[in-house]
């Protein structure tokens, strides 16, 4: 099955939770984990990757926690995906750096490349703000 990893899925859920915080309030890991029924350890791994990507910021201490480093209209779907995925490849032959052994006779690689390029283009131009707005308008 081709799909989005659970890390990307849970990261998007977490970002939505952070976006809902009033006035950029820092939210604790335990607060988010409890509300979203997630493992705090798993959430900590997600937060670290999101922080490295510059999507969230963290603060230690009693009033610390995590919050968005950017507004949702500045975060693109591809930003979240690339924090966890080593690149987007719908087919293994599109991910390999070397030449495919059957490239000369392959009849479908161009199809997968087109689908992948369309998906990457969509993810590169669709902000999380737009995605959330679509959810509430549908």
- Give the pLDDT score at 50: 96
CA distance 55 to 19: 11
Domain annotation for the chain: domains and CATH numbers: 6-137 (1.10.10.10)
Q: What is the mean predicted confidence (pLDDT) over 66-84?
A: 93
First to last CA, the chain: 27
Listing DSSP states for the chain in one string gives -----HHHHHHHHHHHHHHHSGGG--B-HHHHHHHHT--HHHHHHHHHHHHHTTSEEEE-STT-EEEESS-GGG-BHHHHHHTTSSS--SSHHHH-SSPPTTTTT-SSHHHHHHHHHHHHHHHHH-BHHHHHHHHHH-
- Give the pLDDT score at 23: 85
CA–CA distance from 67 to each of 34, 84, 117 (Å)? 17, 19, 32
pTM of whole model > 0.75? yes
Q: Which of the four pLDDT bands, split at 50, 70 and 90, describes residue 1?
A: very low
Q: What is the mean predicted confidence (pLDDT) over 129-136?
A: 76
Average pLDDT along the chain: 86
């Amino acid at each position: 099955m081709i799909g989005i990893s659970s890390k990307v899925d849970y990261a998007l859920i977490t970002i939505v939770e952070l976006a809902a915080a009033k006035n950029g309030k820092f939210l604790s890991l335990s607060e988010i984990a409890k509300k979203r029924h997630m493992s705090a350890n798993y959430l900590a791994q997600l937060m670290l990757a999101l922080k490295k990507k510059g999507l969230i910021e963290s603060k230690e201490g009693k009033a610390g926690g995590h919050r968005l480093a950017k507004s949702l209209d500045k975060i693109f779907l591809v930003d979240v995906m690339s924090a966890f995925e080593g690149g987007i490849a719908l087919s293994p032959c599109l991910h390999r750096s070397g030449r495919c052994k059957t490239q000369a006779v392959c009849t479908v690689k161009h199809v997968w490349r087109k689908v992948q390029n369309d998906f990457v283009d969509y993810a590169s131009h669709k902000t999380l703000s737009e995605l959330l707005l679509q959810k509430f308008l549908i």
